Amino acid sequence: MTREQLALVGMVKKHLAKTQGWDEDMYRLMLRQLGGVDSAKDLDETGFAQIMEYAASWGFRSDWRERTFGRRPGMATPRQVDLIRDLWREFKGADDDAGLDRWLDRSFGVSALRFATPEVAAKAINGLKAMNKRKAAKAAG
């Protein structure tokens, strides 16, 4: 199981709890019946595929690849993309991808997050952390 797959199973768990009222016992039962395991981290590829197919039958749709652009050589990692979006959301107080893209273009010469290299992403992360720290200090004082 990759970290991404484990995260998807966690999203399935949340989806089923929210939409179907599932509790921890029902989630564990699904893992045992479909994957033959007691913990998602022990799933193999077949068990993972069965869990995802079952979740899809309950309306689960993952937007992970669309949201993070997936793994692309020479480009920011999905983890970096998620962190940048989270830090921007914290700074702005809402989702604003267009605003983020404008900031990236103005600050780093990258027209959109999907074109950020790992180096640009690292600089953006540090910049956003500093911006959020200044914002918090201003609000507190």
What pLDDT, in 10s, does the model give residues 99-136? 999 999 999 999 999 999 999 999 999 999 999 999 99
Do 75 and 50 lie in one domain? The reply is: no
Q: Does the pLDDT at position 9 exceed 80?
A: yes
Distances (CA, A) of 133 to 41, 93, 101: 35, 14, 21
Do 51 and 76 lie in one domain? The reply is: no
Round to whole Å and give the CA distance between 18 and 59. Answer: 12
Do 50 and 73 lie in one domain? The reply is: no
Do 53 and 86 lie in one domain? The reply is: no
Q: What is the DSSP letter of 94?
A: S
Amino acid occupying residue 84 = I
What average pLDDT does the segment 13-30 reach? 93
User: Which residues constitute the domain of residue 14?
Assistant: 3-57
pLDDT of residue 27: 95
Q: What is the DSSP letter of 32?
A: I
* Domain's final residue, options 12, 38, 57: 57
Q: Does the pLDDT at position 70 exceed 80?
A: no
Task: Give 87's pLDDT tier (boundaries 50, 70, 90).
Answer: very high
Query: How many domains, the chain?
Result: 2
